[in-house]
Amino acid sequence: MDEDERRRAKRITDTIEKLLKGEVRLAELMARPRIRHGSRIGAFTVPPEVLIDNSLSDQFTVVQVSGLDRPGLLYELTNTLSDLNLDITSAHIATFGEKAVDVFYVTDLTNKKVTSPQRQKAIEERLLAVLGASPA
């Protein structure tokens, strides 16, 4: 392991320890601006997409989200789902180059599928906003 990797590993370890001790909150960390070295954001176009399906599972609403991957994206997606009063039972996270494809199995607070078209539309709009999509 070279010195640069050791330094990054130490920074990550220190951050995790601070989080576990309650010395810093995750939301604060995620809100801090990050220095990008050689950022390729903007070099790729990955259209944001949210698909909500109740036919894939007997118990859960399946929410598939795809778009341009970036630091903090998973945190923002899960935080948004929580803000929408959805319980995430299972999450399947994947990246394909610059594209993130995340699938969440969710229920509402009564442990039921999300069947209301208006509620599904609200979920879709909030997640598209996280992905940086312009309002339709």
CATH number, position 61: 3.30.70.260
Q: Domain check: are 27 and 69 in the same one?
A: no
Range of the domain at 97: 49-130
Are 62 and 105 spatial neighbours (Cβ–Cβ below 8 Å)? yes
Instruction: Return the higher-pLDDT residue of 78 and 31.
Output: 78
Is 78 a residue whose pLDDT tops 90? Answer: yes
Mean pLDDT of all residues belonging to the chain: 86
Q: What percent of the chain clears pLDDT 70, i.e. is strictly above it?
A: 85
The pTM is what? 0.74
Judge whether 5 lies within some domain: yes
Q: Domain check: are 122 and 58 in the same one?
A: yes
pLDDT score recorded for residue 3 = 79
Contacts of 87 (CB under 8 A, 6+ apart): 106, 107, 108, 109, 111
Backbone angles phi, psi at 74, to 5 degrees: -60, -40
Contacts of 133 (CB under 8 A, 6+ apart): 48, 67
Is 118 a residue whose pLDDT tops 60? Answer: yes
Judge whether 38 lies within some domain: no
pLDDT score recorded for residue 38 = 46
Q: Please count the structural domains in the chain.
A: 2
Judge whether 37 lies within some domain: no
Confidence band (pLDDT; 50, 70, 90) for 56?
A: very high
Are 70 and 41 spatial neighbours (Cβ–Cβ below 8 Å)? yes
Q: Domain check: are 62 and 15 in the same one?
A: no
Is 54 a residue whose pLDDT tops 70? Answer: yes
Judge whether 81 lies within some domain: yes
Q: Domain check: are 123 and 84 in the same one?
A: yes
